[in-house]
Amino acid sequence: MSTAAHLPAPPPPATAARARTVRLVSDDPGLRATVERVCAAAGVDLLADPPGATASGGAPGTAADTDLVDVRHAVRGRVRPGTVLVGRSEDPGIWDRAADLGGCAVAVLPDAAGWLADLLTARTGGPAGPSGTGRVLGVLGAVGGAGTSTLACWLADRAAHAERLAVLVDADRAGCGIDVLLGLEDQDGLRWPDLLRIAGTVPAEQLWPAMARTGQLRWLSWDRSRPDGAAAPYAAVLEALRRAADLVVVDLGRAGPGTADTAALCDDVLVLTPRTVRGVLAARWAAELLAGAVARLVPAGLNVADVDDALAAATTGLPVAGSVRFHGAVPDAAETGRLLEAGRSRRLARDVAGLLEAVGAAP
């Protein structure tokens, strides 16, 4: 008997794992080129179908593990669960269309290319990207005209300039948009009306790339459209941004019954008040409105009524986080699109940095 007869049989040749596939329905060459790069990075094969193909895995389209459908060609009833709606930042109504289709995931390309690659990698069994847990800081005005939006802009800008992931959120629906204050009302990017039909959880990885930005600071503003009565999904959006950013600064606007629920979503609230008798009395009412929230007082401007920090704290029952000094150049800077630049002046930057440190959000 030969020795070879006693050797175990060789194992059968290994079967190569089936490559995961992604199907794109689009006739946009630029969008296709971006998706090709994303698929290459994720290690998946791209199948491309013409816009007439179905997005349900049936003929004439080829079955795929993940469908990507151009927003311009998405058709109700032909989009299967798990489909990702893709488009460009200039495509109108992409978020509304996603809601119409039953809550599709959205990838605004090329900004969301990294998120899409992570998603495809996760679906092929690779590691998903980590998500952080940031702080949400609200800024509330005791009275109108206290400078609430201005301070919110400066706090977010200070964090962004310290190389932290920071986002400014406009929660003052009646304020006609914080983008006007920034001098960026003509800049493309997500606005609150784009998100009014969102229900449930908002994926941070979709929201973050679609946001407007100036320098390192991202922002989400209301616009000048008349409110239609739809409730803003503040809770879902702020939770998503908390996962994406180190610091989320929320402009809560003037204190009122409608602000309490949004303020409750914040980890800390700064109550901004002028150093006047009326301002401090209004801040006391705001403190009662915020009962249960972690709130601190920020006296601002000139002390024309002999209202010092000790008196303000005793009257409102709120600890003083710090103050913001009067600066005569700020109103002109706000009207000429230089508000953030004004807040970076040495004196004001010191005040803003002190407030961030007081709430434990210092860079």
- How far apart are alpha carbons 358 and 158 in whole angstroms? 14
Residues 209 and 313 in one domain: yes
Residues contacting 128, CB < 8 A, separation 6+: 118, 121, 122
Q: Which domain holds residue 93?
A: 21-123
- Give the residue from 123, 153, 176 where a domain finishes: 123
Q: Which two tokens stand for residue 354?
A: 């002190």
pLDDT given at position 126: 35
Length of the chain: 363
Residue written as token pair 């920071």: 166
Lowest mean per-residue pLDDT among 123-127, 233-237, 311-315, 347-351: 123-127
Q: Model confidence at 52, in pLDDT bands (50, 70, 90)?
A: low
Of 220, 233, 232, whose CA–CA distance to 178 is shortest?
A: 220
pLDDT digits (tens, 9 = 90+) for 20-44: 889 999 988 889 988 998 888 778 8
pLDDT given at position 1: 42
Residues 200 and 155 in one domain: yes
Residues 224 and 190 in one domain: yes
- Indicate whether 319 belongs to any domain: yes
Q: For residue 186, give Cα distances in angstroms to 92, 180, 190, 221, 247.
A: 15, 9, 12, 12, 25
Give the alpha-carbon dihedral of 92, 96, 99, 100, to 10 degrees: -90
Element (H, E) at 299: strand 295-300
- How far apart are alpha carbons 113 and 206 in whole angstroms? 10
Residues 227 and 295 in one domain: yes
DSSP state of 60: T
pLDDT at 110 over 50: yes
Residues 224 and 324 in one domain: yes
Q: What percent of the chain has pLDDT over 70?
A: 85
Residues 272 and 327 in one domain: yes
DSSP-based three-state secondary structure for 123:
helix
| Predicted structure pTM score | 0.71
* Domain CATH code at residue 300: 3.40.50.300
Residues 60 and 181 in one domain: no
pLDDT at 62 over 60: no
Report the number of distinct structural domains present in the chain. 2
Q: Model confidence at 54, in pLDDT bands (50, 70, 90)?
A: very low
Residues 140 and 237 in one domain: yes
What type of residue is 226?
R
Characterize the bridge pairing of strands 212-214 and 217-220. Answer: antiparallel
